[in-house]
Every structure is written in C-alpha cells, then in structure tokens.
C-alpha cells in the first residue's frame, strides 16, 4: 500500500510538471514563430547542417571519433556546417565549432540549446545532426520550433542501456527522428525491436583513416616497450571497460598461451573511461593487480592512453588483434572500429561473435570469430594463428585491402551526405 501511494504521488507530480512544461513550450513556440515571420526564405541547396556534439574530442571513444571524422568530411565536401561541442580545457582554433566555457553535461545542454537557437534564427538550416543520443532532447525541441528535421546516429549501447525511464525516453527520440544512421546490422535490429520505422534506418559503418606513412620517429615510451619483445605480440585497443573482456582474457586465455609461447606478449592499449556517461568502471588498476597475481606481468603490458601516432606505431608492430568482448546487460559492442584500425596495418583479428563485430570482421578473410566467453575456443583460435604465420599474414593482407577499399572515411563521408540529403528532402 505504501509503495502504491508513493507511485501515485509521483505520477501526479509528473502530470503537473508535464502540463506546466507543455504550457511553457506553447508560449515559447508562439514567440519563436512570431520572430520567424520576418525571416526571408532560402533555397534548399543553400541551407546548412547543424551538428550537436556532446560526444566530441577531446573526449575519447568510438562515438567521439565518428563525430569528429563526420565533421571533417562534411567540411571537406564543402557542406555548410556548424557545430556545438562539449567544453574543452585545451581550447584550439576550431572554425565553425562553439563550446561552453565551463565543463559539465547540464552546462553543455543549456549552452547547446541557446547557441543552436542563435544559429537557427540567423542562418537557414536544413538538418540537425546528433552523433549521440545525449543531444536528442535539444534537437527535438529545436526541430519542433523551427520546423527543421533532425537525425540521430545510433551505436548500440545507447539503445540497450538499462533503466525503464531511460529506454522509454530514448525510444521516443529514436522514433521521432527523421532518420537514424546505425553502425551495424545488429544495431539496426535493436532499433526495429523498439518500433523505429525500418524505412528511416540506414546502415553506415564507421570509417577508418588511412595513414599516409608510418611515423619516422617512434615515441620513446613505445620504443622502450617494444624493444624487449621477441615473441608474438597480441594487442587489444580501446577504452578499458568491462564488456571488452580484457580481464577474462588474461585470466582464462593468457596462461595457456604463455605456456606454449613463453615469449608471447599481450599489450593493452587504452585507459579507463573516465569521461563516459555510460561507463564508470575503474578497471586499469584492477587488471594490473590481477596480472601480477597470475604471474603474467612479464607477458602483459598496459600503455594507458596514447597519441594517434603512438597507436599507429603499436598496431604496426602487432601480430594479432584480440577482441574478447563479453555480453553485459545493457551494454553492447556496436561495431568494433579498432578491428579496422588494426586491419589498415595488416593485422588480422580474433574477436567475439557478438553485437556488431561480425560487420567489422569478415569471417575467415580478415579475421576469425569465436563464441563469446568460450575461452577454450578463443585459446585454440589465437594459438592457431600464432602457429601459422603464413595464414596470419595472408589474412592480414586481406584485412588491409578490405579496410582501405570499403571503410576509408572519404567513402563513408559520402554515404552520410547522401543520407542527410534524403532526410532533409522529406520536409
């Protein structure tokens, strides 16, 4: 009875708040429309794109990388684009990007709303683009007031994250968007399962940068790390979070591999996801302690966060990329961009068959897939490629060819531009 009364009170409060919010929105809507009556019309071809990017460098992650390269490609193709991004403590000259002076999500959302209003009132905009779901509420409000459609990019975890309220809210925004670009077939299926119109969904895989040449100078910390390694080098790249399965790989796979290959070394490249809204784990210290307890500290290294140049150098020295992703409720590997980053350097992958990873790894061609949490199969598959250099090198060659032909950002950028044109032509 107490629980029922509590829920009833909460429901009434939410009802009052909803009515108040609806009234305020109606007042603002009228005010905005009165202002817009004096604006002149602009041809569709002259209208620009507005990007709202909470997920944007200097923050690190897959969504941030996609947002940055999408921004770069739009500008490269001479699209009229303006962006609003999160606070940066290292301000740089960024033409077309506005940032709040203070950090924090609430500060960013308030800044984003008012900065976007100024842009929409002064410039004719045909589309609002949100690389992450965080920007969806502001985009939705602006789309209603200014009659400008908005599109979302979906990545997987943004759909599956646990919490009934969160899922109801995000489902509303995904269904309200004019279009949703997804990174894999798995993410498409997740959206369809929550009622998003399949006609509004388009699969556009993340792109990968093709380095023009290897850096001539190896960063000192990388040089000292690799100088001691004579045996095969396995590598995992990415933020150190639970679903990556790094701890499980060290515990269940590394002992057997080291027994057969004493000189084998496993390099974990990445840091804790300290600036993530979805992941709050602090695993790096735990993994280092676990490695010492297992007596594997001579075979496992943790680099922490590295520069792009250092990452390319590291990948070029790897023999095999391992991606032992595990199933976590409310979390999913939407694609696996690091697989392509390794592929560009001619490094094949052994990865879990889960989430969007099968879109990134062409089974038997650019790598091998194993069932998630089947550590016996993972051990045998990794050992197979360690023991067969010719097969591993040939697989790496095919991986590089596929990455460079199908996933370079120039081609992916054109796919996004066509998608945006289709979405903005529906108004």
What's the rounded mean pLDDT across residues 211-232?
A: 70
- Both 202 and 230 in one domain: the answer is no
pLDDT at residue 179 greater than cutoff 70: yes
- Both 67 and 201 in one domain: the answer is yes
pLDDT at residue 25 greater than cutoff 50: no
Q: Which residue did the predictor score with more confidence, 182 or 227?
A: 182
- Would you state the pLDDT for residue 161? 82
pLDDT at residue 26 greater than cutoff 70: no
pLDDT at residue 4 greater than cutoff 70: no
How many C-beta atoms surround the C-beta of residue 35 within 10 A? 11
Q: How far apart are CA 295 and CA 426, in angstroms?
A: 61
Angle at 377 between CA 371 and CA 383, to 5 degrees: 130
> Full-prediction pTM beyond 0.95?
no
Is 26 among the domain residues?
no
- Would you state the pLDDT for residue 20? 45
Is 266 among the domain residues?
yes
Is 66 among the domain residues?
yes
pLDDT in tens, 344-401: 999 999 999 999 999 999 999 999 999 999 999 999 999 999 999 999 999 999 999 9
- Would you state the pLDDT for residue 86? 94
Is 6 among the domain residues?
no
pLDDT, the chain, mean:
85
Q: How far apart are CA 314 and CA 325, in angstroms?
A: 21
Assign residue 189 the CATH number of its domain. Answer: 3.40.50.2000
**SS3 assignment, position 136:** helix
Is 12 among the domain residues?
no
Is 302 among the domain residues?
yes
- Would you state the pLDDT for residue 277? 54
Of the candidates 67, 62, 66, 73, the one whose C-alpha atom is nearest the C-alpha of residue 86 is 67
pLDDT at residue 27 greater than cutoff 50: no
Q: How far apart are CA 369 and CA 228, in angstroms?
A: 30
Q: How far apart are CA 22 and CA 28, in angstroms?
A: 10
Is 215 among the domain residues?
no
The contacts of residue 123 (CB under 8 Å, 6+ apart) are: 48, 82
pLDDT in tens, 73-118: 999 988 899 999 999 987 666 788 999 999 999 999 999 999 999 9
What's the rounded mean pLDDT across residues 135-158?
A: 95
Contact yes or no for 207/335 (Cβ under 8 A): no
pLDDT at residue 38 greater than cutoff 90: no
- Would you state the pLDDT for residue 24? 45
CA dist 147 → 28, 33, 164, 423, 426 (Å): 14, 10, 30, 13, 12
- Both 269 and 389 in one domain: the answer is yes
pLDDT at residue 307 greater than cutoff 90: no
Total domains in the chain come to 2
What's the rounded mean pLDDT across residues 264-293?
A: 83
Q: Which domain holds residue 78?
A: 43-207+409-424
- Would you state the pLDDT for residue 33? 42
Least trusted range by pLDDT, from 128-132, 173-177, 215-219, 365-369: 215-219
Q: Which DSSP symbol is given to 213?
A: S
Burial (CB count <10 Å: 0-12, 13-18, 19+), residue 60: middle
């Amino acid at each position: 009875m107490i629980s029922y009364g509590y829920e009833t009170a909460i429901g009434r409060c939410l009802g009052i708040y909803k009515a108040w919010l609806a009234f305020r929105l109606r007042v603002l809507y009228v005010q905005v429309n009165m202002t817009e009556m004096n604006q002149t019309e602009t041809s569709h071809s002259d209208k620009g794109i507005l990007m709202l990017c909470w997920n944007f460098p200097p923050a690190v992650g897959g969504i941030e990388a996609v947002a940055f390269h999408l921004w770069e490609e739009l500008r490269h193709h001479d699209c009229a684009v303006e962006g609003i991004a999160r606070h940066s403590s290292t301000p740089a000259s960024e033409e077309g990007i506005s940032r709040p002076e203070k950090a924090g999500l609430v500060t960013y959302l308030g800044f984003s709303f008012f900065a976007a209003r100024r842009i929409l009132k002064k410039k004719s905009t045909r589309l609002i683009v949100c690389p992450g779901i965080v920007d969806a509420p502001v985009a939705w409000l602006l789309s209603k007031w200014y009659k400008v459609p908005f599109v979302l990019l979906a990545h997987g975890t943004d759909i599956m994250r646990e919490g009934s309220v969160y899922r109801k809210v995000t489902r509303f925004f995904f269904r309200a968007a004019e279009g949703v670009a997804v990174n894999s077939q798995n993410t498409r299926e997740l959206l369809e399962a929550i009622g998003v119109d399949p006609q509004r969904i388009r699969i556009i895989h993340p792109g990968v940068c093709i380095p023009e040449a290897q850096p001539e100078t190896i960063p000192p910390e990388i040089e000292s790390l690799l100088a001691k390694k004579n045996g095969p080098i396995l590598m995992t790249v990415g933020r150190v979070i639970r679903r990556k399965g790094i701890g499980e790989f060290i515990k269940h796979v590394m002992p057997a591999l080291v027994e057969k290959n004493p000189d084998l070394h496993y390099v974990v490249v990445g840091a804790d996801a300290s600036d993530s809204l979805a992941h709050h784990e602090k695993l790096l210290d735990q993994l280092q302690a676990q490695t010492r307890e297992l007596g594997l500290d001579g075979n496992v290294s943790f680099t922490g966060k590295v520069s792009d140049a250092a990452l390319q150098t590291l990948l070029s020295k790897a023999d095999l990329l391992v991606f032992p992703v595990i199933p976590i409720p409310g979390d999913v590997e939407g694609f696996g961009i690091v697989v392509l980053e390794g592929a560009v350097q001619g490094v094949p992958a052994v990865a879990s068959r889960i989430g969007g990873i099968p879109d990134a790894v062409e089974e038997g061609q650019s790598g091998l897939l194993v069932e998630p949490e089947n550590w016996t199969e993972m051990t045998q598959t990794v050992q197979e490629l360690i023991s067969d250099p010719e097969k591993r090198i040939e697989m790496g060659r095919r991986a590089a060819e596929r990455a460079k032909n199908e996933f370079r950002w120039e081609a992916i950028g054109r796919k996004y531009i066509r998608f945006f044109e289709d979405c903005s032509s529906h108004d």
